[in-house]
Amino acid sequence: MSLADPVFQSPALTRAIETLVAAGGSSPHECTLVARNLVGANLAGHDSHGIGMIPRYVDSLLEGGLRVDRDPLVRLDCGAMLVLDGDSGYGQSVGQKAMQMAIERARMNGSCILGLHNTHHIGRIGHWAEQAIAAGMVSIHFVNVMTRPIVAPWGGRDARFGTNPFCVGIPFPADAPVILDMATSGVAQGKARVAYNKGNAMDPGLIIDTDGNPTTDPRYAVVPPYGALMPVGEHKGSGIALVCELLGGALSGGGTWHRPHTGEKKVHNGMLAILIDPEAMGTADLLREEAMSFIEWVRQSPPAAGVDHLRIAGDPERETRKRRLIEGIPVDATTWGDILNAAAKLKLDPALIDRTARSI
Ligand code: NAD
């Protein structure tokens, strides 16, 4: 086994992750959904929400915070509104079913408001916007994170919420749909971990220390005693994070995080998703035409100094996916080692996972 950072082709890596998830007791269908979702996040360039989540998932599974092969439990289904309890199931499979149900109801009624709660980690939120886009739908997502708070509210000195993501998917332009998918922290915690591992400082304005003072030392976001990440965009991002907590957490039927962390490994998400069928609204043609002309107009802005070309939300993920499908997915050796250790916790031979991931 090489100690160098491995680079994997996505089909082989997907097979390796499927094998690992199967060892946790999931059905073949769930293994495929989980593996494709995680490898899909790596392909999109969001390694923080890709296969590196596996060790946390395995710990959570062994602790009982994550349950296999769950179907969403229907709490309300009146067509225009759907409230589902994820039953602590894999967010990758519960989320897929929940979105499919919401898409079917939006197809019938023109729109659907989905509240999904009590589900294990649902990964990259853009994945769910892509599912809606594939069905021709606009979708808007507010998400909260039910685990140790890591982001400080603007004006505060310690962490009070998660990196609560907000996402909007618009199915046009058809060849490059708009997908704004963003954490509400100034920087993802995974990026602080990379800086910490490399011994690098962070840019100013992203982290506070244990006393709430600004620092560029990433340790305060990575190892105890913790400080906190700062919200993106000062009071504005802090406000969006708060709204994600209340809508994604409470209006979805779950709850908000307002208690000390007990150290458990499970990470649950709550999501409020609003799906709109532009065909039913009668404005699909206008939206399609305006999206093309407006985005073309935006793209004509001359690139700022140091920028190779202007990008629209969704472009970076498409660019990285195109490149990684050809060149492979780089995984740092520490993350890969942690994944192989997780395989061993499930009584799997780590060498089997390593060989599978490196096969052609
Ligand atoms: P990011 O900062 O890389 O990108 C945010 C958005 O900005 C994306 O829509 C991207 O397309 C766009 N973008 C990036 N660079 C751009 C550029 N140069 N020009 C124009 N647009 C650009 O993403 P992030 O905020 O670090 O979030 C990473 C991922 O983490 C997301 O997929 C998010 O859903 C996920 N996340 C999940 C959870 C969870 O609990 N499930 C929590 C937090 C974040």
Domain parsing of the chain, residue ranges: 1-63+328-360, 66-185+232-326, 187-229
Per-residue pLDDT reduced to its tens digit, 211-250? 999 999 999 999 999 999 999 999 999 999 999 999 999 9
Q: What is the mean pLDDT of residues 299-319?
A: 97
Q: Is 179 in the pocket of ligand 1 (CB under 6 A)?
A: yes
Query: What topology is assigned to 1-63+328-360 in CATH?
Result: Hypothetical Oxidoreductase Yiak; Chain: A, domain 1 (1.10.1530)
- Are the CB atoms for 136 and 171 separated by under 8 Å? yes
Q: Is 180 in the pocket of ligand 1 (CB under 6 A)?
A: yes
Residue 90 pLDDT greater than 60, yes or no = yes
**Half-sphere exposure in the Cβ direction for 100 (13 Å, CA):** 8
The H or E element containing residue 138 is: strand 138-146
- Residue 359: pLDDT band by 50, 70, 90 thresholds? very high
Q: Rounded to the nearest whole angstrom, what is the distance from the C-alpha of residue 24 to the centroid of ligand 1? A: 29
The per-residue pLDDT for 65 is 97
**Half-sphere exposure in the Cβ direction for 349 (13 Å, CA):** 5
Q: Rounded to the nearest whole angstrom, what is the distance from the C-alpha of residue 278 to the centroid of ligand 1? A: 25
- How far apart CA 98 and CA 2 sit, in angstroms, is 40
CATH number at 187-229: 3.30.60.50
- Ligand 1: atom nearest CA of 45 is 3
* Mean pLDDT, the chain, whole residue set: 96
Q: Rounded to the nearest whole angstrom, what is the distance from the C-alpha of residue 145 to the centroid of ligand 1? A: 15
Q: Rounded to the nearest whole angstrom, what is the distance from the C-alpha of residue 182 to the centroid of ligand 1? A: 4
C-alpha distances (whole Å) from 297 to each of 168, 242, 291, 306 are 20, 33, 10, 21
Residue 1 pLDDT greater than 60, yes or no = no
Residue 118 pLDDT greater than 90, yes or no = yes
Q: Choose the CATH number for 66-185+232-326 among 3.30.360.10, 3.90.550.10, 3.30.1370.60, 3.40.50.1370.
A: 3.30.1370.60
- Residue 261: pLDDT band by 50, 70, 90 thresholds? confident
pTM reported for the whole predicted model: 0.97
- Residue 188: pLDDT band by 50, 70, 90 thresholds? confident
The per-residue pLDDT for 2 is 46
The per-residue pLDDT for 3 is 59
Q: What is the mean pLDDT of residues 135-158?
A: 97
